[in-house]
Amino acid sequence: MLVTKSLFSRIKIFVTFSGFFILLACNKQVAKTKIRFHIHHAYGFQAYLESIPFAGQKREVIDSATIKNGNDVITFIIPEKEERPYKLKIRDSRMDILVINDRPEMTVEADIIKPDEYTLENSPATISVKNFLSGQAKLGTETRNLFARIDSLKSTGSAKNISDSLSKKYDRDLSAFFRQYINYADTVSSPAAFLYIYNNVDFGKDFAGLKNFITKAARRFPNHSQVQKLKNETIDFLKIFEEEYNVGDQLPELKLPDKYGRIFSTLSLKGKYVFMDFWSTWCEPCLQYDEKKELARKNFPASEFEIVSIALDPEKDSWKKYIQNNGYNWTQLIDEKMWQGPTIATYKIDSIPFNFILAPDGKILAKAVKPDSLLSRLRSLIN
């Protein structure tokens, strides 16, 4: 299952089916929203409310306050009339709570000790998204467990018919998992909920489907500026893929920052074979390449072979922490603008995970190599 622009550019992550097709939340504008944030066990911490950026915007802190005791009630005000998603956060903690300004007042109660166990009142749109993502998280866990079981069966040489049957179920479950995002975004009546979930929508290479989807959403929310802007950008984005790079083509230069913030040019790779892959920390299929890249790094000398991993990820700090915790010591680059960034405009890829194998002269030798085939393909090309 490929993760496309729909799945994340517009960024990490995973309703119950009973209320799935009910129209949720109200699509009216409110003058301002007051958030009563009741936070426990966070003495001395700083709480803040920040916007979630869309369409090239920058993340912005709307309000903040220092927690003076262990049972504070902080009031934050969202002055914005147009409905959109925000985040409540506690600095230096894992607390990260989505809120949508769909009502004049709402209440959030949370405990810094249990950051995932918070409650929301009087915000139907926020509660709807929370319930949906909770259901997706459960489905995601089940899918990952199934993948681990398949991997275990293969490693122990168990009956091939059993692993093949489970692999087919895994493909169906993964497809259903991503389809849920489309179904939810296509039916929810809150434009802010739509915007937030749209980050996870995946149409693969079905560009006509994506165009129809975003055009339909723009008709549902004709007066919402961010949805209209997103529609226009998506249509412009789809025009990129009227051409693509194929085997034998020369890839143009791309410049991106590495984990130290230094600008890296792909022209510096000339003279070596290169495995260049495109991924993100939130992309589960992308992470299946991690072990294979480490093996490739060990199997081919650094004088002849280089790996360059390009992350399409808006969360730079999370990306840096991920590669540091996993000890990845090959070239790591990031494009924080993701699907609106230079990577997509330059290399015209339409999904992740994706990859190229490049010759020392920079020409494409192979592309879209599967993880299980990576080592053998590299051996056949390099040796």
Round the CA-based radius of gyration of the chain to a whole number and report it. 22
Tell me the three-class secondary structure of 190-259, residue by residue: CHHHHHHHHCCCCCCCCHHHHHHHHHHHHHHCCCCHHHHHHHHHHHHHHHHHHCCCCCCCECCCCEEEEC
pLDDT in tens, 32-66: 899 999 999 999 999 999 998 876 677 899 999 99
pLDDT bucket at 345, cuts 50 / 70 / 90: confident
Same fold, 33-123 and 255-382: no
Regarding beta strands 331-335 and 305-312, do their DSSP bridges make them parallel or antiparallel, or are they unpaired?
Answer: parallel
Regarding beta strands 105-111 and 33-40, do their DSSP bridges make them parallel or antiparallel, or are they unpaired?
Answer: parallel
User: Mean of the pLDDT values across residues 126-131?
Assistant: 97
Q: Is pLDDT of 166 > 70? A: yes
pTM surpassing 0.75?
no
Domain spans of the chain, in order of start: 3-20+127-241, 33-123, 255-382
User: Mean of the pLDDT values across residues 298-315?
Assistant: 92
Sign of the torsion angle spanned by Cα atoms 147, 150, 154, 155: positive
255-382: CATH architecture: 3-Layer(aba) Sandwich (3.40)
Distance CA(125)–CA(190), nearest Å, equals: 6
Half-sphere exposure of 274 (CA within 13 A, CB side): 25
pLDDT for 56 equals 64
Direct distance between the N- and C-terminal alpha carbons of the chain, in angstroms, rounded to an integer: 31
pLDDT bucket at 14, cuts 50 / 70 / 90: very low
| Average pLDDT for the chain | 87
Asked: is 33-123 a CATH 3.40.50.970 domain? The reply is no
